[in-house]
């Protein structure tokens, strides 16, 4: 919890979005994370994406668990709803909130400790249920808040700051999310804002479980030689398969692309998700080939980033449960109790 106040200063040159808000309106408190922390870049990317999409801040719910990553919702979207849950339980609390009020945009922010260790079960089940949310894992391979132990996503053979080699296999959150049926799976790097912001925008627009694994180096405990989550290592091994140009229908498509270099994914609302391919052979609409590709590249030591899989026909938990369109928390007794006459009719049908 920071007590530092941030002046509500709007620089006169700050552009306003469709709602008349500037980026400043999407900021939060002053970050207390270490200078250079990848998480702060992700917060900045979330701010940018929400500003660009002209999201109404009061229609966003930010949920997190415990850890450095889970502190970050305090540092963005200061005018949105926030819920800091207990360690690893964010996905469950988010599921409950989403069921009660389907109208909000749910932003689950977690870390590799929160989601791959203590809350692995919660993560898995929220993904397989297709909860309509943007699930961001700020992945640094280390427990930052307890000062640098390996997390479950640390690569086998990766070296800790104290020089110890990790002897255990790592969990690849992207592979797990794909296997569990996530309908939007992406990986990015906190140091690549040009890639990350459109991915967050696309995830927000997606209906269903959108999972974003963002490699976010920990400058204090995992940014040294021998670590596979350092800024240098990720930059050297980052292999982007595509770049997103997220295009809403209201925007004119002006850029020209060479044939075969673009993959268009139509969205529910009629808009188009346009992927500019970096790897011409990559097909982001095929779950199986995506998984094979990721495994092959991981064996080469490469970190594949980009929009790795998206299902244009995705559905969410509310669809599976066949709930009504009105948020459940807005239903009153009149909606819920059809009255004695209806009851008599039902009973009569059974006599």
Task: Enumerate binding residues for another protein (CB under 8 A).
Answer: 1, 3, 5-6, 8, 27-29, 66, 78-79, 84, 86-88, 117-118, 120, 143, 145-147, 149-150, 152, 164, 168
Shortest Å distance, C-beta 63 to another protein: 14
78 vs 198, which CB is nearer to another protein?
A: 78
Shortest Å distance, C-beta 78 to another protein: 4
29 vs 276, which CB is nearer to another protein?
A: 29
Coil, strand or helix: which one is 112? helix
Q: Which of 166, 51, 69 is nearest to 60 (CA)?
A: 51
Shortest Å distance, C-beta 152 to another protein: 6
Shortest Å distance, C-beta 127 to another protein: 18
Shortest Å distance, C-beta 348 to another protein: 41
Shortest Å distance, C-beta 295 to another protein: 23
Q: Which of 254, 273, 260, 261 is nearest to 312 (CA)?
A: 273
Name the CA dihedral angle for 55, 58, 63, 66, rounded to a multiple of 10 degrees. Answer: 110
172 vs 245, which CB is nearer to another protein?
A: 172
Shortest Å distance, C-beta 129 to another protein: 21
Q: Which of 60, 95, 53 is nearest to 77 (CA)?
A: 60
34 vs 262, which CB is nearer to another protein?
A: 34
Query: Which residue is associated with the tokens 């064996």?
Result: 299
List all residues 6 or more positions away from 120 whose beta carbon is below 8 Å from its beta carbon: 88, 152, 171
Shortest Å distance, C-beta 206 to another protein: 28
Q: Which of 209, 231, 216 is nearest to 46 (CA)?
A: 216
Q: How far apart are CA 52 and CA 197, in angstroms?
A: 9
110 vs 242, which CB is nearer to another protein?
A: 110
Q: How far apart are CA 118 and CA 173, in angstroms?
A: 14
The answer to whether the CB of 55 falls within 8 A of the CB of 5 is no
The answer to whether the CB of 25 falls within 8 A of the CB of 17 is no
DSSP code of residue 270: S
6 vs 193, which CB is nearer to another protein?
A: 6
149 vs 323, which CB is nearer to another protein?
A: 149
Coil, strand or helix: which one is 177? helix
Q: Write out the two tokens for 117.
A: 């260790």
List all residues 6 or more positions away from 263 whose beta carbon is below 8 Å from its beta carbon: 242, 274, 275, 277, 283, 284, 285
């Amino acid at each position: 919890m920071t007590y530092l106040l941030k002046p509500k200063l709007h620089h006169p040159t700050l552009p306003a979005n469709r709602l008349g808000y500037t980026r400043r309106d999407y900021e939060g408190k002053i970050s207390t994370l270490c200078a250079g922390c990848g998480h702060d870049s992700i917060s900045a990317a979330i701010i940018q994406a929400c500003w660009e999409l002209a999201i109404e801040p009061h229609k966003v719910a930010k949920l997190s668990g415990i850890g450095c990553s889970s502190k970050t919702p305090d540092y963005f979207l200061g005018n949105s709803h926030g819920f800091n849950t207990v360690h690893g339980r964010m996905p469950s609390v988010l599921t409950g909130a989403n069921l009660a009020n389907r109208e909000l945009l749910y932003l689950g922010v977690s870390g590799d400790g929160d989601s791959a260790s203590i809350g692995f079960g919660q993560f898995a089940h929220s993904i397989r249920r297709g909860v309509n949310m943007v699930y961001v894992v700020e992945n640094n391979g280390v427990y930052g808040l307890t000062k640098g132990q390996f997390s479950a996503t640390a690569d086998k053979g990766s070296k800790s700051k104290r020089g110890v080699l990790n002897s255990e296999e790592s969990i690849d959150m992207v592979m797990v999310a794909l296997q569990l049926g996530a309908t939007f799976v992406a990986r990015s790097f906190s140091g690549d804002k040009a890639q990350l912001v459109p991915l967050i925008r696309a995830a927000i627009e997606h209906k269903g479980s959108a999972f974003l694994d963002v490699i976010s180096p920990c400058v204090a405990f995992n940014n040294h030689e021998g670590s596979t989550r350092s800024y240098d290592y990720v930059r050297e091994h980052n292999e982007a398969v595509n770049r997103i140009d997220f295009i809403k229908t209201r925007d004119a498509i002006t850029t020209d692309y060479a044939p075969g270099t673009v993959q268009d994914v139509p969205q529910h609302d009629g808009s188009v998700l346009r992927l500019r391919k970096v790897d011409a052979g990559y097909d982001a609409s095929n779950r199986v080939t995506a998984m094979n590709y990721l495994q092959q590249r991981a064996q080469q030591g490469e970190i594949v980033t980009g929009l790795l899989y998206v299902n244009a026909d995705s559905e969410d938990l509310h669809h599976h449960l066949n709930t009504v369109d009105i948020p459940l928390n807005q239903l009153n007794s009149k909606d819920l109790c059809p009255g004695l006459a209806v009851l008599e009719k039902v009973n009569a049908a059974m006599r």
